[in-house]
Amino acid sequence: MKFHGSWRTLLGLAAMGILLLATTAWAADTIVLGTAMSQTGKYAREGKFYVDGYQITVDALNKAGGVKVGGKPYKLELKMYDDQSDPNLSVRLFTRLVTSDKVNFLLGPYSSGIVTPASSVSEKYEIPMVQGGGASGQIFSRGYKYIFGTLPKAEFYFLSAIAAAANLNPPIKTAALVYSNEAFDRSVADGSRQLLKDYKIEKVYDEEYQPATQDFTSILAVIKSKNPDMILLAGHTENSLNFIRQSQAQDVSPKMWVFTVGPPTADFRKVLGKAAEYAYGVTPWLADMDVGGEIFASAREFDKQFRERFGYEADYHVAAGAAAVLAFKFGIEKANSLDPKKVRDALAGLDVETLYGRVKFEATGQIAMGQVLIQIKEGKVVPVYAAGKFVNKAVYPMPKWSQRK
Amino acid sequence: MLTLQVLINGILLGGLYGIMAIGMSLIWGVMNIVNIAHGPLIMLGAYVTYWTFTLWGWDPFLSLPVTIVALFVYGYLLQRLILNLVVRAQLFLTLLLTFGIEVAMVNLARIFWSSDLRQVTPTYAAANFSVGGLTIPYVRLWVFVTTVVLSVVFLLIMERTRLGRAIRATAEELRAARLTGIPVGHIYAVTYGLGAALAGAAGAMWGMLFPVTPMMGGALTLKSFVVAVLGGLGTMMGAVVGGLILGLAESFSSTFIGPTYPNAISFGLLVLILIFRPTGVLGKGEGR
């Protein structure tokens, strides 16, 4: 027995030694970016955009020579777990990434509801996290130093939409505000309420719903009875989809409707087909925008490479994820160090042009960037209103369902 | 007018909830299995309809028999080969096993079909008509009519056929059923198959109204559970009544209290029923 035991100890020690050697060898010239992304569960769809966005950017960076620190090139490596769309699991996984996997830096998860608790892990261990998945003001209002976000402020998501609505002919007079009771969508609603007031649009309906809602017929029945000029919906892709389909079946058609998530995504237009026509959406990024930088010379080039590799169009989720990886490259090179504190300071002062646009963080850690109002016309995403002016003519008012072919 | 519209919406949706829950109630009532894999069966039915529609252009209502047969066979085999091993064991064991089946089904669906949102969109998907200011979508109406027809057919099978009698006998007195020569293993498998077939039919119709994804089942298992308990376990009419109650409760609470409340109201109802009528609205006798 004793012999047996000592053998085991010896074996264990040997294994540990090999592991230790392996980790030191591996740590010598790689920078590990750790993340937990939703690959299963309710955010599996959006999560995939980030998984692919992170991967293509890491590979492109490595192909272009990696990240240079002190003149020495480092390869980037992704260490990824699946948080199953569960905020509690996400916190455990990020804690594991920091404490036992000892990754260098953190890329964020998806959705404000998960980023908010996950960012507490990065703050506690003082490891910078750059994320492209959460835009709620909650994430950035806690005075945290180690969280950076590449999605624009949730409170201003509908700014371009509401500004455009007030300047259309005839102008929008009344609006219905529908939003899920998740952190992000609540922030959007809070911001929109103020914006509607500023632009003197009367709010005739203002209700929150559960994000898992499938059936919107009751909500639609009430909205229909109020007959608003415009409907603003803040929710997830599936909510927007159900809302539009059921509006058609219930014959609800306002002059204009705007969705936080959905219209810029190819999948959304494919599933809805013609019913998606004329819907407005907002996006910080479009593949045919005139932006570009190192690694990916232009948004178009990025989209092309992305489509070749993954077989679907890159949308703003993908680009925001790519921007998060690139922020680390520039941050680390600027800091010329792998020290988390130094990289954090470099990120805070970053100002670079990328495929995603200008990456420059505000003091809160959130990117200083606006949204473009887009509309779906003949299955294509057309920018309508950006930076305070119309860039293309909108189809307005939206034709009623009965008048559509 | 709004109240009437809400009433109609609630009834039309309630019919679908009803048929979703009949299978759950049946399996639970006969074998004492709380079928966690019920939602994934609905999901599978939705996918069968989606694929026959997308690949071969079959009308989702006409392909209903195909979906029903496919799910029956799947359910039969599942019970015969796997669940029969632990049937009549402790509730916890069967719970665990159906939970495992749930996880496997959801993840296989995710691997084979990806987690993309899909939708069955026949040309008439959004057609509707108006009567006196009320808007009624055709698909929802047809779905309601189909659920009523299917429920009646199912009730007739249970009440009037030898098979139905065998199933009920097995549920009521296992030993006596065995003594009279009822092949219990086979009857169990048929029961599960019937439950799966009804779940599949519900899925086919769910897919015409809402997006289809591998993850859609979880919430539906829960809904079926609530409906089955509301109506009374093991009573098939109970599931239909429970479905209508849930549909109406959701649609009224969402309109008049607020769209965040339907779940609170549904589960509140469940708690109330469990306190005051533990055997469900149509349940017979005293609770165990």
**Min Cα separation B120/chain A (Å):** 9
Closest CA to A135 of A166, A161, A102, A157: A157
- A153, A12, A92, A220: which is closest to B2 by C-alpha? A220
Question: How far is residue B60's CA from residue B71's CA, in Å, rounded to a whole number?
Answer: 15
CA distances from B18 to B147, B148, B211, B227 (A): 8, 9, 19, 7
Assess whether pLDDT exceeds 50 at residue A1.
no
Separation CA B47–CA B147 (nearest Å): 19
Cβ-nearest to A251 among B6, B135, B215 = B135
Say if the Cβ atoms of A222 and B2 lie within 8 Å. yes
Best A185, A207, A217 member to test B by mutation, with max B CBs in 10 Å, is A217
Please, are residues A69 and A91 in contact by the beta-carbon 8 Å criterion? Answer: no
The phi, psi pair for A207, rounded to 5°, reads -140, 145
Greatest CA separation found in chain A?
A: 90
Q: Do A267 and B137 touch (CB under 8 A)?
A: no
Q: Supply the pLDDT for residue A4.
A: 52
Give the closest residue to A260 by CA, choosing from A324, A149, A182, A202: A182
Say if B84 is an interface residue toward chain A (CB within 8 Å).
no
Q: Say whether residue B264 is in contact with chain A using an 8 A CB cutoff.
A: no
Whole-number Å distance between alpha carbons of A164 and A393? 11
A378 touches chain B (CB under 8 A): no
Nearest CB among A218, A272, A275 relative to B251 is that of A218
Domain limits, chain B? 2-217
Residues with Cβ within 8 Å of A13's Cβ and at least 6 positions away in sequence, in order, are none
Give me the interface pTM, i.e. the ipTM.
0.85
What residues of B are in contact with residue A181 (Cβ under 8 Å)?
Answer: 260
Read off the tokens for A278. 């004329």
Contacts of A28 (CB under 8 A, 6+ apart): none
Q: How many residues does chain A have?
A: 405
Which residue is listed with tokens 């006798």?
B285
Q: Does A266 touch chain B (CB under 8 A)?
A: no
Tens of pLDDT, residue by residue over A160-197, are 999 999 999 899 999 999 999 988 899 999 999 999 99
Give the β-pairing of A202-209 and A174-180. parallel
Domains in chain A, CATH or no CATH each: 2-152+288-360 (3.40.50.2300), 156-283+371-403 (3.40.50.2300)
Contacts of A251 in chain B (CB under 8 A): 128, 130, 135
CB–CB contact A212 B262 (8 Å): no
pLDDT value of position A17:
57
Give the SS3 label for residue B187: helix
Cβ–Cβ contact A248 with B under 8 A: yes
Å from B138 to nearest chain A CA?
8
**Closest approach of chain B CAs to the CA of A51, in angstroms?**
14
Q: Take residue A348 and report the two structure tokens written for it.
A: 């805070």
B258 touches chain A (CB under 8 A): yes
- Cα A173 to Cα A52: distance, rounded to the nearest angstrom: 42
Reading chain B (288 residues) residue by residue, the pLDDT tens digits are: 788 999 999 999 999 999 999 999 999 888 888 999 999 999 999 999 999 999 999 999 999 999 999 999 999 999 999 998 888 778 888 899 999 999 999 999 999 998 888 988 888 888 888 888 888 999 999 999 998 999 899 989 988 999 999 999 998 888 898 999 999 999 999 999 999 999 999 999 999 999 999 999 999 999 999 999 888 876 778 888 999 999 999 999 988 888 888 888 888 888 988 888 877 777 665 443
**pLDDT score, position A20:** 53
B28, B34 contact by CB (below 8 A): yes
Per residue in A228-246, pLDDT (tens digit) is 999 999 998 889 999 999 9
Whole-number pLDDT of residue A12: 61
CB-based contact, A210 to chain B, within 8 Å: yes
Pairing of the two strands A147-149 and A174-180: unpaired
* Tokens 């669906």 found at: B109
Report the C-alpha gap between A242 and A237 in whole angstroms: 9
pLDDT at A14: 63
Compute how many other C-beta atoms are within 10 angstroms of the C-beta atom of residue B141: 15
CB within 8 Å: B126 and A241: no
The single residue listed with the structure tokens 């039969």 is B76
Contact criterion met (CB < 8 Å) for B5 and A275:
no
Distance CA A229, CA A169 (A): 12
Give the pLDDT confidence of A375-394 residue by residue, as tens digits: 999 988 999 998 778 888 99
Distance from CA of B34 to the nearest CA of A (A): 22
Whether B54 and chain A come into contact, CB under 8 Å, resolves to no
Helices B38-56 and B64-77: crossing angle, nearest 10°?
Answer: 140
How does DSSP assign B49-111, residue by residue?
A: HHHHHHHH---TTTTHHHHHHHHHHHHHHIIIIIGGGTTTS-HHHHHHHHHHHHHHHHHHHHH
Q: Do B9 and A217 touch (CB under 8 A)?
A: yes
Beta-carbon separation of A250 and B215 below 8 A: no
Residue A287 has pLDDT above 80, yes or no: yes
Amino acid at B184: V
E strand or H helix at B131: strand B128-131
Q: In this structure, are strands A72-82 and A129-131 parallel, antiparallel, or unpaired?
A: unpaired
What do you get for the CA distance between the two ends of chain A, in Å? 83
Residue (of A31, A96, A23, A97) closest to A58 by Cα position:
A31
The partner residues of A351 in beta bridges, in order of sequence, read A360
- Between CA A296 and CA A301 the distance in angstroms is 6
Cβ of A208 within 8 Å of Cβ of B258? The answer is: yes
Is A44's Cβ below 8 Å from some Cβ in B?
Answer: yes
CB burial class (10 A; 0-12, 13-18, 19+) of residue A53? buried
Question: Position A145: which residue type?
Answer: K
Q: Quick: pLDDT tens for A93-126.
A: 999 999 999 999 999 999 999 999 999 999 999 9
Element housing A107 (H / E): strand A105-107
A217·B210 Cβ contact <8 A: no
Given A209, A250, A272, which is nearest B260 (Cβ)?
A209
| Residues in contact with A318: Cβ distance below 8 Å, sequence separation at least 6, in sequence order | A49, A50, A52, A53, A306
Contact call for B259 and A209, based on CB within 8 A: yes
Does B215 reach chain A within 8 Å, measured CB to CB? Answer: yes
**Which regions of A230-364 does DSSP assign to beta strands (E)?**
230-234, 256-259, 280-283, 351-354, 357-360
- The mean pLDDT of A37-62, rounded to a whole number, is 94
| Rounded distance between C-alpha atoms, residue A261 and residue A244, angstroms | 12
Work out whether the CA dihedral B212, B215, B218, B219 comes out positive or negative: negative
Q: Does the beta carbon of B89 lie under 8 angstroms from any beta carbon of chain A?
A: no
Give burial (CB, 10 Å; 0-12/13-18/19+) of A143: exposed
**Contacts with B3 from chain A: Cβ below 8 Å:** none
The yes-or-no verdict on residue A328 having pLDDT over 60 is: yes
What confidence score (pLDDT) does residue A290 get?
A: 81
User: How far is Cα B115 from Cα B113, in angstroms, rounded to an integer?
Assistant: 7
Q: What is the mean pLDDT of residues A252-278?
A: 90
- Beta partners for residue A67, in sequence order: A74
Note which residues in 124-163 of chain B have CB less than 8 A from chain A.
125-128, 130, 135, 137, 139-140
pLDDT of A23 higher than 70: no
In whole angstroms, give the CA distance from residue B284 to residue B271.
18
Asked if pLDDT for residue A18 goes beyond 80, the answer is: no
Give pLDDT, residue A24.
47
Angle made by CA atoms B134, B140, B141, in degrees to the nearest 5: 70
pLDDT at residue number A389 = 82
Q: Which residues of A touch B215 (CB under 8 A)?
A: 40-42, 44
Q: Count Cβ–Cβ pairs < 8 Å, chain A vs chain B.
A: 102
pLDDT at A138: 86
Are B139 and A249 a contacting pair at CB < 8 A?
yes
